[in-house]
């Protein structure tokens, strides 16, 4: 179970990093510092179908699978459970982006039902990302051989908070896409660390 969780997690993190880079490079009008990742799959994007169904959906599905498998494989604790719930909520944003693309530019004073659902599925995971990383850091200190993950998770919590602030303050920042990428990286890198831990050492479960 632990090895499977680790493998699924590594694939999910790799997909989360790779598809925005790949599809962003294909579109000469796309600026990763200025534009949100969701704009790659918005209503008028050139590769919207591929971004949504080959990028967002598999990433969200893999990260959800990782969280469920890791939940079962890791030592049992309330903090571990809450951290994995946070990962599931973050993953829901990718899945929601696939089924509910945002409007052109992912902004505007009015929005379609699809964009409203895009926000509804994505924002909870984003807003809770700093807390999720904090919980992950606390939990990992009690896993056998897992204390090395804690500093990465705590740094991730700080990075996620900074990235969240820059992402939501779009009217004050000329680089919201860059801040979003900081948030994403701050979440995905500690997730990769947990995946590597599980892949190297499948661990199950007495309560901690």
**Residue 204 has what pLDDT?**
44
Rounded to two decimals, the pTM is 0.92
- The full set of domain ranges for the chain reads 2-200
Confidence of residue 174 (pLDDT cuts 50, 70, 90): confident
pLDDT in tens, 20-60: 999 999 999 999 999 999 999 998 888 999 999 999 999 99
In this structure, the number of other CB atoms found within 10 A of the CB of residue 87 comes to 28
| Closest by Cα among 162, 84, 158 to 125 | 84
**Residue 201 has what pLDDT?**
75
In this structure, the number of other CB atoms found within 10 A of the CB of residue 109 comes to 4
Helices 129-140/113-127 angle, 10° precision: 30
Task: Answer with the residue of higher pLDDT: 19 or 167.
Answer: 19
Nearby residues of 162 by Cβ (< 8 Å), 6 or more positions away: 179, 182, 186
* Mean pLDDT computed over 114-130: 94
* Mean pLDDT computed over 174-197: 95
């Amino acid at each position: 179970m632990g090895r499977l969780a680790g493998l699924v997690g590594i694939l999910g993190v790799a997909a989360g990093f790779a598809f925005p880079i790949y599809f962003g490079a294909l579109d000469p009008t796309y600026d990763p510092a200025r534009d949100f990742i969701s704009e790659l799959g918005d209503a008028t994007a050139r590769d919207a179908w591929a971004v949504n169904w080959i990028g967002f959906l598999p990433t969200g599905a893999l990260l959800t699978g990782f969280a469920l498998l890791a939940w079962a494989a890791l030592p049992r604790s309330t903090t571990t459970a809450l951290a994995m719930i946070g990962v599931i909520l973050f993953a829901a944003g990718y899945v929601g982006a696939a089924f509910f693309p945002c409007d052109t530019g992912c902004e505007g004073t009015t929005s379609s039902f699809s964009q409203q659902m895009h926000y509804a599925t994505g924002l909870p995971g984003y807003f809770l990302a700093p807390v999720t990383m904090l919980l992950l850091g606390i939990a990992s200190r009690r896993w056998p051989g897992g204390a090395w993950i804690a500093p990465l998770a705590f740094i991730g919590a700080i990075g996620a908070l900074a990235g969240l602030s820059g992402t939501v303050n779009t009217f004050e920042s000329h680089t919201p896409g860059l801040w979003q990428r900081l948030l994403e990286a701050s979440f995905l890198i500690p997730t990769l660390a947990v995946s590597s831990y599980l892949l190297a050492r499948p661990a199950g479960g007495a309560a901690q």
